[in-house]
Structure 1
Amino acid sequence: MEIKILIAEDDAIFRELVCDIIRKEGYIPIEACDGKEAIDVFFNLKDIDIIILDVMMPVYDGWEVLKEIREHSDIPVIMLTALGDEKHEVIGLNKGADDYISKPFSYEVFIARINNMVRKLKKEHFKELIMGKIKINQETHKVSVDDFEVELNNKEYSLLTYFLKNCNRVLTREQILCNIWGYDFNGDIRTIDTHIKTLRAKLLNCGNYIKTVRGSGYMFEVSSI
């Protein structure tokens, strides 16, 4: 499993230093030089695993980037900043950051925190998802409904996995579009409704786990059937 880490930092020298550290650990660094580029890269690539986000950046600062990302994703985010007092650390964690590292940082501590996040990601990536009568083997991409295997295409599989990981949470069409089709998708937003209709049919009786929330989007909610 390749791990891609987005480093959003406006200081080119410091950004390259962090990228070198990431490479030495065997991970793939992706660079962004300001907040706008960080948002664009994250939503366009879709396969970023971890974000290292500087607070003080031009165009959009780290807090604005974090807010935009948290509206669409629970990806692990590490805030990296020279504002190293406890007050700012609490603010960062309360705003949805997973970790907070002050500059200058210890090389050993930085790597230990990154590796710890990666271990959690890999464990999460390969675990079996079970919700109601639906089971997803994330390693083999096999999906079963009431122990009966069903065939899903890539988009349907991604949709179902996204729903299970966000169970009991209302997801807007915009959130679904960004996470499954990509931030720069130019097609008709109603393609979501078409795919969900097909997915519901393939899930047999469990298709009613996917609820339509009028005026908002969809929610995956397990109910007795």
Structure 2
Amino acid sequence: MHDTWSGKVLGLLVGDTALVTGQYKEEDMGHEYDGITEYDNDLPPWWKYGFYFTIVFAIGYMAYYHVADAGQLQLAEYETEMRQASLMVSADADDPNKLTTYTALTAPADLSAGKALFVTNCAPCHGANAEGKVGPNLTDEYWLHGGEINKVYKTIKFGIPSKGMVAWKGKLAGKQMLQVASYIESLQGSKPANAKEPQGEKEAPAKTIAAR
């Protein structure tokens, strides 16, 4: 009775696990090595069922995602989630996706304050004269993250963690960050000694401003 499929199913209900574990034939193949004897036993049915399932799943996956284009692949799903997340971000001063509308400060007192802040906080990476060290040269026309004053302000405020640029939000006040950005803008074209090679995209001098 248990040799048929239905019989094995009924047997499983009463405790016979042959349908899942298979039957051991104990048929010696005559192969022995290092005390290990080979028997002619099939793979366990549960293993074969699992393998068959992966084949069916792969065919269904291919048909659903690549043939019918009914579902989103990983990249498309990620982009959709990012668009949805952007709708939930508040459009206030702490929103990194929203640029400010500041203009550069030009008063001597602001530029002097900006210089003092730069020397204390920025010079270790950008050099005393913004010539560039670990960080990029801030006196040329090339910018990695935009040289317009508000883009520079954004970079100073939120940083670029992936490149080692720390965020100064919470460490410097808003006006102090603008003073630093304005000071760097005043250094455009100053051509300091030992200036680092240009990095990033070239921008018109009118747009070049500060820290990247």
Q: How would you bin the TM-score normalised by the shorter chain?
A: under 0.3
Higher relative contact order (CA 8 A, sep 6+): 2
Q: TM-score, normalised by structure 1?
A: 0.22
Q: Normalising by structure 2, what TM-score?
A: 0.23
